[in-house]
Structure 1
Amino acid sequence: MPEQRPPAGIDPRSGFCAATRTFHSLRSSATLPPDSLPATAAAYAFSLLSSPLPGRPALVDAATGIAVSYPSFLAAVRSLAGGLWSALGVRPGDVALVVSPSRLEVPVLDFALMSIGAAVSPANPASTADEFAHMVALSRPAVAFAVPEVAAKLPRSLRCVVIGSDEYTRLSSAGGASPPPPVAVKQSDTAAVLYSSGTTGRVKAVAVAHRNLIALICAHRENREKMAKEAAEAGEQPLPPTVTLFPLPLFHVFGFMMLLRSVAMGETAVLMERFDFGAALRAIERYRVTLLPAAPPVLVAMIKSEEARRRDLSSLLVIGIGGAPLGREVAERFAAVFPNIELVQGYGLTESSGSVASTVGPEETKAYGSVGKLASHMEAKIVDPATGEALGPGQRGELWVRGPVIMKGYVGDDEATAATMNSEGWLKTGDLCYFNEDGFLYIVDRLKELIKYKGYQVPPAELEHILNSHPDILDAAVIPYPDEDVGQLPMAFIVRKPGSKLTEQQVMDHVAKLVAPYKKVRRVAFVSAIPKSPAGKILRRELIQQAVSMGASKL
């Protein structure tokens, strides 16, 4: 998105204001609807669609090729919304847990719920019964919608409608005769409750307002219009309609936000139930995919893949990178193999509803290691964790961000909300960062210490708690072990009780039976003691250095 001339006192290169010690976005400001205007994110997205509706599919199932047109999608949303209201009694303010892989029913359900003022709460179907119980205790849903294989893991006290059942089919068709009445939903009302891991290792429930999602849609729309205008002025051919492949789950903030964007922009979303690299390549070729959201390990796989070279990937114009910064070596290796695919780097959190910063255009992408520049309407501070002092360009500290995309707070956890957001609306990200003199943001380290496994967040503290519950384990620490294919592997350092014959496999099995598959410990090392600070804090950096120097064999 083009940059605008900043107000006096703001450095036009970095966006830094020395007087307020604040970094400001230099992107063009997207026009937001007035705060006072009642609107749901679903209604706002639909209001942007062309008339007549786009002739391309809204949704496509990658495995079967089944497509849903925009007229059919809108009709299905309205019919299900009527059924939810009249037959199930769902009302504005109710929370609905949605537990399903990325199937065609999920976008219909998500938009139907938001359209009547209910809050969508998408959860990972791989979660355990204990994890679901914790989520339900936080968000207190009025009803759950789950695929058959997951329904049995949900608390029995929670009303559950099985997706695909006769009851669900009746709900889906009930609204045709009795559509829901118009509801006046404030933009400040909760649109979604998303689950995010924190430093304590327990999942938190993030309340995202309709306003947050509308601001994201506006930024995407502004970006698209500017790019189309620039292409026309340069005499270039207009870009083809965007077809996005969704290898990322719709319960993750990245997938949830990208789906909303795709519908609002009148684009096509190609859904994969689960990520499979070969299937993704085939889908890109079959459906002429133009946009692929992915984590850096997907780029590494493409570089190494013979099949990626054989397939016709000529339609693919952009890969949007999230989850971790993209290194120079991988970016240059990728460009050598796929010179016509633009890489867009971004940074966001569940607590920011999506993107806080991103690169725009091929020149910005060359700022290797950076996650780009602040998005429209965003402000940031770099704060010294020890002194609380706001720092300038080139100085490292905790990133604080503020803007219209920042969450309302954590549901059911006022203490965590107060610790994460201050009274002035600043969100403390827990990430150690800096801005350079040109306003590019760099993520140095994860203060929150989350392990990034295939884009999933794995909290070490949760795994340590489980490990320390084992009778043969005296002490334990879990660290991220760098891995080119998946990003980071959870690795456990274990202090065994004297005389114990506990094996690496037994340690991994102990954890595996208690957590979702992506949280499993993948490497184990036995040590005599866990290095800790005088205050008892695990010195993870020492363990990471030790692990890398050990070069532990892949398990």
Structure 2
Amino acid sequence: MMLFQFLDLQTWTSNYTKSLDNVKNTIQSLITQSSTHPASSKYRKFPNDPLFTRFLATATNHYSNIAVNDPACGVQADYAQLLLDISVLRQTLCESLPGDAVDRDNGTIAHEKGKEGTICIVAPGSYHFIVALFATVVIGGAAVVLPTGLIPEEAYYLYRKCNSACLLVAPGMESLAMGIQDLAHQKDTSIPTIPIKAQQAQSKNHHTDYTIAPDLTFPPSHPALILFSSGSTGPPKAVLHTRQLLYGLAATPQKDDFRPGETALSHRPPFWIAGLRPLLSMLPNGVRFEIVAPGSQAEVLWERLRVEKITILACQPIVWKAMMREFEERIARDSDENVVQEYIDGVRRLRIAQCTGGMPAARVKRFWKDMRSGRELEMVYNTTELGMPPIMSDGEGLVDEPVIGKAVPGITVKLSQGDRGEILVKSPYVFSHYVGDPDTTAAQFDAEGFYKTGDLAHLDNGNYAIQGRATSDFIRFLGIKVPIYEVEAKLNDLPYILEAYVFPVPDSESITRVAALVRLSTEKAEEGLSIQALRDDLSQTLSLYKQPTFLRVLGDGEDVPTTRTVKVDSAETVRRYFSPGALGVQAWDISLLREAKPEKAWDFGGMLA
């Protein structure tokens, strides 16, 4: 039985084509009316705020510099082209939405009481997304960044939750937009859908056609962005950020001094704060964006480092690890000596090399320190709700410890128990609220207004050292808490382990077991590894109760599943490799713990039990 009666593809395609034709006709009409620019003058007047004054200053001084290179879309746009495409889409938005939704005199969205003025963007991390993001923000709208991997039912739910005015749709995303419209049709409603166009005809003096309108301002408290939580514990929460975050990012208040002429490699999806933040902080300050598809393989990232003059790169731990393996197992072994040096030179051109979204293994950090002639990866701690990273490292002396750095100036950080406990943050850039959920919003802050991150840490010589999520990064084995980060770190320290992941696996005897999923070096893989041998090798650095009691070795062609934000998908990994009856799992007999003779007082948990 079908749950929904969808519009047929031919009908939807016809409607979408008419929408495209309307956009083309509007642009052609504008070009006919004006010989200098395809957008009317009022749509080329930008808000008087820190974001756009910085953006226009950069564009004026470097208008012919390439701002975005997106080979997949066939776009290489300078700042003049980017501003032109933003202006044209801004005008298209204002002329396509109902009259009561926009202020056509100023080219801005009309905010009604109780509404956020939201616009949904359906686009991957491409040039089209950048155009749509800035076109939304310039009219005072709040950009709702939809993950592109959603099914229509999920996307429609989020569209309705945010009470959006329309969909902005990038080329290649028409199928998802069609599905959203089909669901709206079942409710006897319609959703305005506007194609995101790029590379319009340029005027000869296009770099002189943009100004700041002194009276066009939006307060810092004005809604600006809506991102979504992962949804791992229920329906995703809609996290609303205000323009205060945009203004702070454009001003780059952190230690990074972004410079015109630098180049950032953009490879992370923009629906994640780590993928979106660079667009708002670097692009207005003159940093060129080299775009590769989100989730690109390590070999693709290496090739761009070798060929392009990349100076800024930020990756998750799993990506830095994959790039390390790519170099060790392919590039260093199979490439000509001169080509290998080109890859190394590409890495050493990186002025900023950051790790976000987790803590890499010490071995991974040591590899990149050696590759970068002694310069370490910089750790960046952030969450969707925080917006701006409150803690960053300076990349000095942190290789062997899970240190994430010190508090960023202008942001207050403390731990709930003095020198340890939950990380609490008070920041002008923290999110405003969860859309439609005031109770959950209130529960995220303590009585002093500090945001409760849910992450545990302790102070180590003035630096914050991460211990994991309070609710998910510990395993209860025989009633004793086992920190996942610590076990993974000790596994990764073993010379024959290339990758190590630790998960809680349900068990009838112990409630949960400590399960290790590892990839071995070629030599060790040929020799084989037993769980007893692994525990013996860990016995000098890890208490007995923390040592794995399940072991699974990854074979050739086997990988660890990841989420849309390129983090390890724990639930899917456990299902794939540790479900009942799964092949290749070694189990250690936990009854042997009763016979064990502990060498250390804390081998069985001591006072932690």
Q: Same fold (TM over 0.5)?
A: yes
Q: How far apart in 2 are the matches of 1:172 and 1:119?
A: 28
From 131, 144, 147, the equivalent of 2:154 is 131
Contact 2:321/2:360 (<8 A) preserved: no
1:292 Cα offset (Å): 1.0
Q: Which position in structure 2 is the counterpart of 1:291?
A: 312
Q: How far apart in 2 are the matches of 1:420 and 1:426?
A: 8
1:81/1:172 CA distance change after superposition, 3 Å: farther
Q: How far apart in 1 are the matches of 2:129 and 2:140?
A: 17
1:412 Cα offset (Å): 1.0
3-state SS, counterpart of residue 229 of structure 2 = strand
Contact 2:268/2:295 (<8 A) preserved: yes
From 88, 91, 96, the equivalent of 1:79 is 88
1:342/1:49 CA distance change after superposition, 3 Å: farther
Amino acid in the other structure paired with 1:350: T
Amino acid in the other structure paired with 2:467: V
RCO comparison, higher one (Cα < 8 Å, 6+): 1
What runs of 5+ residues in structure 1 fail to find an aligned partner?
A: 1-37, 226-238, 384-390, 452-478, 496-511, 529-545, 551-555
Q: How far apart in 2 are the matches of 1:270 and 1:169?
A: 17
Equivalent residues in 2 for 1:100-115, closer than 5 Å = 100-115=123-138
1:217 Cα offset (Å): 3.0
Q: Which position in structure 1 is the counterpart of 2:67?
A: 58
Q: How far apart in 1 are the matches of 2:200 and 2:74?
A: 25
Correspondence 1:332 to 2:383: no
1:125 Cα offset (Å): 0.7
1:79 Cα offset (Å): 2.1
Q: How far apart in 2 are the matches of 1:218 and 1:332?
A: 33
Q: Which position in structure 2 is the counterpart of 1:474?
A: none
Contact 1:326/1:370 (<8 A) preserved: no
Equivalent residues in 2 for 1:4-15, closer than 5 Å = none
Correspondence 1:207 to 2:207: no
Correspondence 1:267 to 2:287: yes
Contact 2:422/2:455 (<8 A) preserved: yes
Amino acid in the other structure paired with 2:368: F
Q: Which position in structure 1 is the counterpart of 2:227?
A: 194
Correspondence 1:369 to 2:402: yes
Q: How far apart in 2 are the matches of 1:428 and 1:190?
A: 22
What runs of 5+ residues in structure 2 fail to find an aligned partner?
A: 1-46, 103-108, 111-115, 333-339, 475-483, 493-497, 509-560, 590-609
Contact 1:281/1:308 (<8 A) preserved: no
Name the larger-Rg structure. 2
Q: How far apart in 2 are the matches of 1:127 and 1:489?
A: 28
Q: How far apart in 2 are the matches of 1:516 and 1:343?
A: 20
Contact 2:264/2:290 (<8 A) preserved: yes
1:297/1:308 CA distance change after superposition, 3 Å: farther
Correspondence 1:434 to 2:458: yes
Q: Deviations over 1:106-133 (max 9, x none)?
A: 1111011001100011121112234323
3-state SS, counterpart of residue 359 of structure 2 = coil
1:317 Cα offset (Å): 3.4
Q: How far apart in 2 are the matches of 1:407 and 1:39?
A: 23
1:170/1:303 CA distance change after superposition, 3 Å: closer
Count of aligned pairs? 423
Higher helix share: 2
1:216 Cα offset (Å): 2.9
From 322, 325, 330, the equivalent of 1:304 is 325
Amino acid in the other structure paired with 1:323: G
From 308, 318, 322, the equivalent of 2:356 is 322
Amino acid in the other structure paired with 1:193: I
Q: How far apart in 2 are the matches of 1:319 and 1:517?
A: 18
3-state SS, counterpart of residue 260 of structure 1 = helix
1:65 Cα offset (Å): 6.4
Q: Which position in structure 1 is the counterpart of 2:58?
A: 49
Correspondence 1:356 to 2:356: no
Contact 1:317/1:340 (<8 A) preserved: no
1:220/1:343 CA distance change after superposition, 3 Å: farther
1:367 Cα offset (Å): 7.1
1:364/1:489 CA distance change after superposition, 3 Å: closer
3-state SS, counterpart of residue 310 of structure 2 = coil
Q: Deviations over 1:253-276 (max 9, x none)?
A: 111111111212111011122322
1:194 Cα offset (Å): 0.7
Q: How far apart in 2 are the matches of 1:220 and 1:128?
A: 38
3-state SS, counterpart of residue 472 of structure 2 = coil
Contact 1:348/1:355 (<8 A) preserved: yes
Contact 2:422/2:452 (<8 A) preserved: yes
Q: Deviations over 1:171-197 (max 9, x none)?
A: 999xx9999997431111111011113
Equivalent residues in 2 for 1:89-104, closer than 5 Å = 89=98, 90=102, 91-92=109-110, 93-104=116-127
Amino acid in the other structure paired with 1:399: I
Amino acid in the other structure paired with 1:77: I
From 249, 268, 279, the equivalent of 2:300 is 279
Contact 1:348/1:354 (<8 A) preserved: yes
From 156, 165, 168, the equivalent of 1:145 is 168
Q: Deviations over 1:72-113 (max 9, x none)?
A: 111221221122112335515411111221121111110110
Contact 2:254/2:408 (<8 A) preserved: no
1:334 Cα offset (Å): 2.7
3-state SS, counterpart of residue 522 of structure 1 = helix
* TM-score where L is the length of structure 2: 0.61
1:148/1:197 CA distance change after superposition, 3 Å: same
Amino acid in the other structure paired with 1:426: F
1:63 Cα offset (Å): 4.1
Q: Which position in structure 2 is the counterpart of 1:70?
A: 79
Correspondence 1:521 to 2:541: no
Q: How far apart in 2 are the matches of 1:170 and 1:244?
A: 22
Q: Which position in structure 1 is the counterpart of 2:257?
A: 224
Q: Which position in structure 2 is the counterpart of 1:347?
A: 381
1:221/1:416 CA distance change after superposition, 3 Å: closer
Q: How far apart in 2 are the matches of 1:317 and 1:274?
A: 22
Amino acid in the other structure paired with 2:276: F
Equivalent residues in 2 for 1:470-549, closer than 5 Å = 493=506, 521-524=572-575, 525-526=578-579
Contact 2:58/2:285 (<8 A) preserved: yes
1:197/1:40 CA distance change after superposition, 3 Å: farther
1:134 Cα offset (Å): 3.5
1:40/1:153 CA distance change after superposition, 3 Å: farther
Bigger Cα displacement from structure 2, 516-525 vs 209-218? 516-525
Q: Which position in structure 1 is the counterpart of 2:436?
A: 412
RMSD of Structure 2 on Structure 1 (CA)? 4.0
